[in-house]
Every structure is written in structure tokens, then in C-alpha cells.
Structure 1
């Protein structure tokens, strides 16, 4: 099969990309709503590492259905900090539910009754049950594309990993990814974990 992107509408291109760039890691991002103890939580699978010196990761954040900026973009732009989590497959339903569009200021964490834990040396908390968390600071933000998307580059300041999944070997960290069972993203409502795909439909 040969597909020329020049012949496709943008939503068709998106479908092709999300069906073929697989599996994708998911950034489960906590950001500050700018209100006391109110935090936004949202997943993004246009996400990758781009540099180790400095340690940089990238999120690509689109718009809400009404064309306004997503809360994550607004919060990082205003507050400069966020926490990026890597979820386990057991958290797939929680990750999916946090993709639901809520009015600005309403917290997915409160809605799902998720537990928070302090992040040592960082102003924002982390999700207590997420096996990996990265404390991040805004490095650069650019508007790209015709829609446009927000390309958000974050500098990782601190890393948290549940001790049961990580060991040190001659100064290098070894991660037991089979035990961690990280959640990956496929196309449509499909996810990937430990060699198996499964489907959870995104909430409206």
C-alpha cells in the first residue's frame, strides 16, 4: 500500500500517523491549575525524549474540540512546571478517563479520586500510584503546523522510579520493564502492554 499524504485531509493524515507510529509512550501530565491544590491531569502520546544533555522531552499538544488551548498547555505556559508520569498497563482506564475534556479548573485527580504524593525537591506533587514520574520545567514552547499544535519542550529536573522496578548495576540503572508493564498507545482506542493490544474507548 502506498499513501501520498498530499492527497489526504489533516484528520486522515493523523489517523495514518497514529496507526503506524506504534507503540507510542504516553506522557501522563500533571500541571497546576493556578488554584490552591487544584491540578490538571491529561495523557499525550505525541511524546518523546529529544536530548540527554540537557535532559529534554517533548510533548505535542493540540486544541480542545472548541478550538481553545488545552489546559495542560495553559498551565505549563503560566506556571512553567509539570510532572510527567509513565503509567503501568493496570492504570489504562484511569489514563483514558483523564483524556475527557473538562471545564478549565476542574481536576481529573479529584474526579477520579487519585492519590497524590510529595515529589522531593519539587513544588508539584506526583501521582502516588504511577511507577515513574519526571519533575519538569518548561524549556521552550513553539506553535507549529496549520492547526496549530503546541510543541512543548520540557527539561527533566528530577526522576522518581518505584524501587521494585529499578536496580543499580555498576553505576547504571537497570529497569525491569516486564514487571513495570508500561502502557503504550496504538491507533484509535487501542493500547499496548507486554506484547498484547487491547481497546478502551476514549470518553466524550
Structure 2
């Protein structure tokens, strides 16, 4: 099959792109507005962007309403966030938080999740998340216009929490982490047994 992206409808292009790039890691981002209301939402356009400085990058697509998602609005206002890594036992709760809710809804409470007080930023983390990365906004880049336009958030990592049970021999144990990834549609992938290849 060959596809001319200029001739594809936006929905079809989205499905094709997310079907190509997988599994995608999930940034489960917790933020707080200026009134102290917490927000929690997952984003699967996510990865490490730099080590010096330590930057994570994730993209928040613009909604049909043209209103910024609460996560993006909070980050722009406060400059603070926590990226929580989603383990398999937290998948159902994560899925609950991906709904579109009013700004005054606390998704922690909605999903029955305990909060963990952060060390360097105001937004709390997900207490049961095996890894929490406390961050401040480094830069936000906007691409395109209308529904599906991207807002690339570059977040500088200030503090990292790793649960004892996933820390082995001086590194994060990927098997113990049980991280899940996003596939196309409503599908997710579990961390499967890994294989190794020596770098040349």
C-alpha cells in the first residue's frame, strides 16, 4: 500500500501514524492548577529528548473544541508537572483518567488513586506509580492549527523516584517495572521478555 498523506482525512492519517509507531510509552502526567485542583491524564506521544539537560518530551494534540487540554493549560500557567510511568496494575486507572472531564474534576479522585507529595514541584505524583519524574517546563512548541495540531512539551527533569521493587543491581529492572505501551485504537501492550543485541 502507498499513501499520499496530503490526500488522507485527518482521522485516517492519525490511525495510520499511531499504527506505525508502536508500542509507544505512556507519560501519565499530573499537574495542578493555580487553585490547587489536580489533573491527571495519559499521553502516548512521549520519549526522552535529551540527557544534558535531562528533558522529556510529550505532545498534547489540540481538541476539536480548540480549548487547551487541562494538562497543557496547567503546565503553561504553573510550569510544573510530574510524569508517572504506567505499570500494568495501573492500566485500568490510567484508562479512566484519559476521559474528557471538566477542569474542576480531580482525576486522582475519579480513578481512586492515592497521591504522593512531590519533592521539588507542587503537583503530586501517583503514589503507586513505580517511577515518578518531577519536572519543570523547559519549552512548549506548537505545530499546525486546528484539531490534531501538536503542542510539544519539553519538560526538564528535576527529581526522580524509583520504587525499591523495580531497582535492581544499580538500574531499573524492566521486567519488574511492568510498563505498558500504547498500540493503535484501544489496544495496549505489556512488557514482554526482552532480547539483547551487543552494539557493534
Q: Could you say whether these structures have the same fold, taking a TM-score greater than 0.5 normalized by the shorter chain as the test?
A: yes
CA contact (8 A) 2:39 2:105 kept: yes
Residue 30 of structure 1 aligns to a residue whose secondary structure is strand
Structure-2 separation of matches of 1:195 and 1:176: 13
Q: Identify the range of structure 1 (6-15 vs 126-135) with the bigger mean alpha-carbon deviation.
A: 6-15
Q: 1:194: which partner in 2?
A: 191
Q: 2:163: which partner in 1?
A: 162
Structure-2 separation of matches of 1:112 and 1:176: 27
Structure-1 separation of matches of 2:188 and 2:152: 23
Structure-1 separation of matches of 2:8 and 2:24: 23
Q: Deviations over 1:5-42 (max 9, x none)?
A: 22212221110011110000000000002223x20000
Structure-2 separation of matches of 1:11 and 1:121: 39
* Alpha-carbon shift at residue 154 of structure 1 (Å): 0.5
CA contact (8 A) 1:33 1:105 kept: no
Question: TM-score, length-normalised on structure 2?
Answer: 0.90
* Alpha-carbon shift at residue 116 of structure 1 (Å): 0.8
Structure-1 separation of matches of 2:168 and 2:175: 14
Residue 34 of structure 1 aligns to a residue whose secondary structure is coil
Q: Number of aligned residue pairs: give it.
A: 191
Question: TM-score, length-normalised on structure 1?
Answer: 0.88
Structure-2 separation of matches of 1:123 and 1:167: 29
Q: 1:45: which partner in 2?
A: 44
Q: 2:171: which partner in 1?
A: 174
**Larger relative strand fraction:** 1
Unaligned runs of 5+ in 1: 197-204
Q: 1:201: which partner in 2?
A: none
* Alpha-carbon shift at residue 180 of structure 1 (Å): 1.3
* Alpha-carbon shift at residue 66 of structure 1 (Å): 2.1
* Alpha-carbon shift at residue 121 of structure 1 (Å): 3.6
CA contact (8 A) 1:28 1:95 kept: yes
How well do the aligned residues superpose, as a CA RMSD in angstroms?
1.5
Residue 33 of structure 2 aligns to a residue whose secondary structure is strand
* Map 1:39-118 → 2, pairs under 5 A: 39-118=38-117
Q: 1:29: which partner in 2?
A: 29
Structure-2 separation of matches of 1:144 and 1:131: 32
CA contact (8 A) 1:181 1:193 kept: yes
